[in-house]
Amino acid sequence: MKFIHRNENNKTNELLNWFRHSTDVVVKNDLIAEKTNSVYTLLFCKGLINVQLLEDRLLPFLNNVIREDTTAIYPSLKSLYVVHEISIEPANKRKIEQSLFSGQVLLTNSENPRVYAINLADTPKRTPEESNTEISIRGARDGFIEDLETNFALIRKRLKTASLNSKSFNIGRRSQTAVSLLFIEDIIDPDLVARVEQRLSRIDIDALVSSSELEEELSDSTFSIFPLIDNTGRPDFAVQSLIQGRFVIIVDGSPTVLIGPASLAITLKSPEDAHASFYMVSFERVLRVTGLFTTISLPGLWVALTTFHPDQLPYPLLATLTLSRTGLPLSLPLEMIIMVVLFELFKEAGARLPRAVGQTVAVLGGLIVGDAAIRAGLTSPTTLVVVAITMIASYTFVNQSLSGNLLFLRIFNLIMCAAFGLFGYFISVLSIFLLVGSLRSFDYPYLGSFASPNATDTIKTFLKAPFNLMKKRSSYLYPKDSTRQGDRNEN
């Protein structure tokens, strides 16, 4: 902290003492009222405010007002800036800290036990750009960034209605991270809003750094393998979710927003579904559901068939498998587990390396090491193909949390099949179905429209209808307004 020492009252000294170790806080004590001889003190963080506005407008304005009439400072400030008044008391220390470190300039004087917080915020932020994880083909290319107000504006420009409500929270005793809960009041279930507000209000942590931490705090089950809250980096998908009767949570400092309640159906959807033909989207949704079963169960099913039930395989295929496994030192289950872990290793390496070389290393590394493993007699070509198909199937999901967590279900299914054959396969698949069926997101069933008593909801989960036929919202969310289109579309 840099300042010129002068005699201030106890309240000003107390204020300065709170920030004595904050080297990024600048203090100016050179504003003196000649008539009253009182000293005015300014505190601000140089990297969080508009310095040009401070030097060109606020400081000259304060010099003129202080010289002419000190009693007119507060009314004059309110006429030009967003200003709020805070008493310098220990009970208000956190509020004053939050104001200062949010980009506001604090003004006080030796005669006044209060501080005026003047909003000159200009915090560091980048311009909206396309999301790196949700690539756009025909959709919008503006993605969320790390600034809450900008993210809110990206949603607001798509929903020009007063029904879009927002509620603000500050979470984290030290971080005071700003969080906004967004929902469309005349669509969303009121009980859902009350439930989310209650969970947000009871969070008590020292710092909230990312939206992932908030996701864990809000989830119905902390240890769930399936994500119980969805996330996206694209404003258009967030707007689609709001219109369906869901809520969106924006966390300041995070380039992704949270969407709830989540369901297996929304987790398997892509933001691009709204911008493609219903023929293509329907086909892709069936592919994703197929990919979900494939990535979980294909390695285990292959082990069960080749190890316990070879009589179920065609004779030419069985002969090929027998020849390809001649001389291999490892059993098929152990070989399969090693190859699954090896592919995950390449995937992790590709994600952590710089973008320019990450994909190249992952692809070439997989080809070279796979070919070398076959030549060295450590694995068979069929095992390599099965694992490769399994990994490719996992890449069909947009939700990266789901794609990564399915590894544990894959290993579980593989171990059960290695121990009990097809019996273990069916037991593991049944266990996974029971697990998914028991999950809830904000007290809504995770299977959602998959298990809806309304047959139309179930069909729409797999197949996308033409837009002019999508007249109703999903009933399992209990929306206040279930109608999306008027009767004029029936003509």
Q: How far apart are CA 126 and CA 135, in angstroms?
A: 19
- Per DSSP, the residues of 53-72 read HIIIIIHHHHHHHHHH-GGG
How many CB atoms are located within 10 Å of the residue 77 CB? Answer: 19
CB 233 within 8 A of CB 131: yes
How many beta carbons lie within 10 A of that of residue 482, not counting itself? 14
Distance CA 334, CA 387 (A): 13
Digit-coded pLDDT (tens) for 436-450 = 989 999 989 898 777
pLDDT tens readout for residues 171-216 = 998 888 999 999 999 999 999 999 999 999 999 999 999 898 999 9
Residue with tokens 């309304």: 454
| Mean pLDDT across 208-233 | 90
- Between vectors from CA 308 to CA 304 and to CA 309, what angle results, nearest 5°? 90
Under the banding of pLDDT at 50, 70 and 90, the label for residue 489 is very low
Provide CB contacts within 8 A for 230, sequence distance 6+: 241, 258, 259, 260, 262, 266, 267, 399
Query: Model's pTM, two decimal places?
Result: 0.84
Write the secondary structure of 227-280 as one string of H (helix), E (strand) and C (coil): CCCEEECCHHHHHHHHHCCCEEEEECCCCCEEEECCCHHHHCCCHHHHHCCHHH
pLDDT of residue 102: 87
What pLDDT score does 2 carry? 44
Q: Return the structure tokens found at 197.
A: 């507000």
Q: Is the pLDDT of residue 385 over 70?
A: yes
**40 vs 460, higher pLDDT:** 40
> Confidence band (pLDDT; 50, 70, 90) for 3?
very low
Alpha-helical (H) ranges within 274-420 are 278-307, 315-324, 332-352, 355-375, 381-394, 400-420
The answer to whether residues 146 and 253 touch, using CB atoms and an 8 Å cutoff, is yes
Average pLDDT over residues 137-144: 85
The pLDDT value recorded for residue 412 is: 94
Rounded mean pLDDT, 312-321? 81
Tell me if the bond preceding 261 is cis, omega within 30° of 0.
yes
DSSP 60-110: HHHHHHHHH-GGGHHHHHHHHS-EEEEE--GGGHHHHHHHHTTTEEEEEET
- Whether 1 has a pLDDT exceeding 60, the answer reads no
Q: Is the pLDDT of residue 69 over 70?
A: no
Question: Cβ-count burial of 470 within 10 angstroms (0-12 exposed, 13-18 middle, 19+ buried)?
Answer: middle
Closest by Cα among 452, 461, 185 to 470: 461
- Residues 214, 201: contact at Cβ < 8 Å? no
